[in-house]
C-alpha cells in the first residue's frame, strides 16, 4: 500500500492511496494542475486514477473535481447527498451522471486491490463521510472535518497503519482571531472541526500496535501553525497516556506540497 498527502489544510485537501495497479484519490480540493503535479512527483499519471472518493462538498474538498472529470474522465464516488450537492455546484454541467457513483456509510466498496469503507462524520455538509482503505493486509484512515467523534468513529479507525487525523485549530487563536462570532461558533460546534487538543485525545483512543504513521491534517491557515499543532498533540499524548517516546511517526501533512510517500 502506498499513501501520500498531495495537499492538506483549510484551503484544500487531496490524498493519494494506491496498491498494485489501483490508484485512488480521497478528495480533490485543489486545482487540477496541483493534483497532476503532485501525482507526477509520485510517478502516477492522472489517467491511471480509478476514482476520486469525496468526503463532502465543501470547496476545499472538491475544487479540482470538475477539471479532473473533464480532462481525464475520472469517476467520482460519494454519498447521495454529497453527489447532489456537487451537481448543484457544477454550473457548467461538466460532470454527467455517468461520472457519479453513490456510496453508503458502512458499506464497503471494492476498487481493484483496495477496499474502501465510508463512515459517517459530524460536519455541516449534506452527507459527510470519512474513509478507511484496506489492501495487502494494511489500513489507511482519513478522519478530517470531524465536529466530534464517538465510539462509532473510534471503531472505524481501530487497527489502522496510517492515520490522517484532523488538527484544525488552536482554540485560543480561534477565539482571539478575526473570524465573525457566528463562524467561530460553527467551527467549535459538533458540526465543525477538531481542535489540536481534540485531535490528540482522539489519537490516544486509536493508537494501536499496527500504527506506523499519523499525519495531523486539515490545519487552519488562520488559526493554527504546524509546530503548534504538533506540540499540542504530543502534549496530549503525554498527559493522557504518558507517551513521550512514540512508537510511530507523527508529522504534519503539508498545505502546499506533497508529504513523504508512505509505503507499507
Number of independent structural domains in the chain: 1
How many other C-beta atoms can be found within 10 angstroms of the C-beta atom of residue 110?
A: 9
259 assigned to some structural domain? no
30 assigned to some structural domain? yes
Rounded mean pLDDT, 210-233 = 97
Tell me the pLDDT tens digit for each residue of 8-25. 999 999 999 999 999 999
81 assigned to some structural domain? yes
Instruction: Count CA atoms closer than 13 A to 109's CA, side-chain side.
Output: 22
Q: What is the CATH number of the domain that holds 66?
A: 3.60.15.10
263 assigned to some structural domain? no
Rounded mean pLDDT, 227-251 = 95
262 assigned to some structural domain? no
186 assigned to some structural domain? yes
Q: Are 87 and 62 in contact (CB under 8 A)?
A: no
Instruction: List 163's β-bridge partners, or say none.
Output: 141, 214
Tell me the pLDDT tens digit for each residue of 34-62. 999 999 999 999 999 999 999 999 999 99
211 assigned to some structural domain? yes
The pLDDT, as a whole number, for residue 244 is 83
Least Cα distance to 143 among 151, 134, 154, 127 occurs for: 154
Least Cα distance to 54 among 95, 93, 21 occurs for: 95
140 assigned to some structural domain? yes
Q: Domain limits at 214?
A: 2-254
Amino acid at each position: 500500500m502506498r499513501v501520500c498527502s498531495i495537499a492538506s489544510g483549510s484551503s484544500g485537501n487531496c490524498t493519494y492511496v494506491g496498491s498494485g495497479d489501483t490508484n485512488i484519490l480521497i478528495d480533490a480540493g485543489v486545482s487540477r494542475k496541483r493534483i497532476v503535479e503532485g501525482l507526477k512527483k509520485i510517478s502516477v499519471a492522472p489517467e491511471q486514477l480509478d476514482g476520486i472518493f469525496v468526503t463532502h462538498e465543501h470547496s476545499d474538498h472538491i475544487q479540482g473535481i470538475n477539471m479532473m472529470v473533464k480532462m481525464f474522465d475520472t469517476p467520482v464516488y460519494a454519498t447521495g447527498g454529497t453527489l447532489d450537492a456537487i451537481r448543484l455546484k457544477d454550473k457548467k454541467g461538466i460532470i454527467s451522471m455517468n461520472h457519479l457513483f453513490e456510496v453508503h456509510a458502512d458499506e464497503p466498496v471494492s476498487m481493484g486491490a483496495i477496499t474502501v469503507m465510508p463512515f459517517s462524520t459530524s460536519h455541516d455538509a449534506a452527507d459527510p463521510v470519512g474513509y478507511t482503505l484496506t489492501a495487502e493486509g494494511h489500513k489507511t484512515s482519513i478522519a478530517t472535518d470531524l465536529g466530534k467523534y464517538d465510539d462509532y468513529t473510534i471503531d472505524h479507525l481501530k487497527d489502522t497503519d496510517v492515520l490522517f487525523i484532523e488538527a484544525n485549530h488552536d482554540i485560543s487563536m480561534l477565539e482571539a482571531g478575526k473570524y465573525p462570532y457566528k463562524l467561530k461558533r460553527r467551527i467549535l460546534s459538533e458540526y465543525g472541526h477538531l481542535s489540536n487538543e481534540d485531535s490528540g485525545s482522539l489519537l490516544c483512543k486509536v493508537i494501536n500496535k499496527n500504527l506506523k504513521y499519523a499525519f495531523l491534517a486539515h490545519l487552519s491557515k488562520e488559526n493554527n501553525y504546524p509546530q503548534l499543532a504538533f506540540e499540542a498533540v504530543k502534549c496530549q499524548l503525554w498527559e493522557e497516556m504518558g507517551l513521550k517516546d512514540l512508537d510511530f511517526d507523527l508529522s504534519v501533512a503539508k498545505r502546499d506540497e506533497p508529504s513523504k510517500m508512505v509505503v507499507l
